[in-house]
Amino acid sequence: MIITDTHTHLYSEAFDEDRTAVIERALAAGVTRFFIPAIDSTYTEAMYTLENSYPDNVFLMMGLHPTHVKDNHLEELSHIKDQLASRKFVAIGEIGIDLYWDKSTLELQQKLFRAQIQLAKDYKLPIVIHCRDAFDEIFEILEEEKGPDLFGIFHCFTGTLEHAQQAISYNMKLGIGGVVTFKNGKIDQFLSQIDLTHIVLETDAPYLSPVPYRGKRNESSYILNVLEKLADIYGVSKTYIAEVTTQNSKSIFKL
């Protein structure tokens, strides 16, 4: 059984004390594919180090996280372009709009989201979307950009059934993680109405740990709790969930 974690920040400082042990636990659990989103340029070298340590398991994205869209956004965008020109990445991400922490940067976040979508189209890469308190703003831009060259993953999906259907209409898979195990997560109430072909698994480690680890540091091996919850929701085996979601990840990332 091959399990794919489509979104994990294994380079995070949260893993500095035991990164190797965390990864080995995940590998032992059958999690053998780790897709690594970027945040900003300060993490690029750590991402490369991680990839060099696990070249058969770690796959990197490049992008600027919306909460890191600051006054130096032009330098960050230049860094992204330089990296894309120098080597291969599997996606542009994580990118998007976050209005939970700072609404004052909305216009700048919109600008950078559009710019990075264009880079994804130029390089024929998927996008991995971060959306927090910003479904309307995200969908407005996806509506403008929609087409066969726009595709990717709606990371950490927490919306309604209608949001899910709209995201899927823009060629997006839904990234399902720990939230599906929360009592107040709500997505477990309608997820069975979404065909499994539209779902990928993720942890967003070290964030959003699933039950029973909620409130503690998340890690990629905990994706088994997400897998178990989805098997229960869809009424199928964990092996089947792993197979379908891994195949879905392959269709997005082309590997």
* Domain ranges within the chain, ordered by starting residue: 3-253
In the CATH hierarchy, which fold is given to the domain comprising 3-253? TIM Barrel (3.20.20)
Of 85, 81, 91, 11, nearest to 44 by C-alpha is 11
Per-residue pLDDT of the chain (255 residues; tens, 9 = 90+): 999 999 999 999 999 999 999 999 999 999 999 999 999 999 999 999 999 999 999 999 999 999 999 999 999 999 999 999 999 999 999 999 999 988 999 999 999 999 999 999 999 999 999 999 999 999 999 999 999 999 999 999 999 999 999 999 999 999 999 999 999 989 999 999 999 999 999 999 999 999 999 999 999 999 999 999 999 999 999 999 999 999 999 999 999
Identify whether 66 is preceded by a cis peptide bond (ω within 30 of 0).
Answer: no
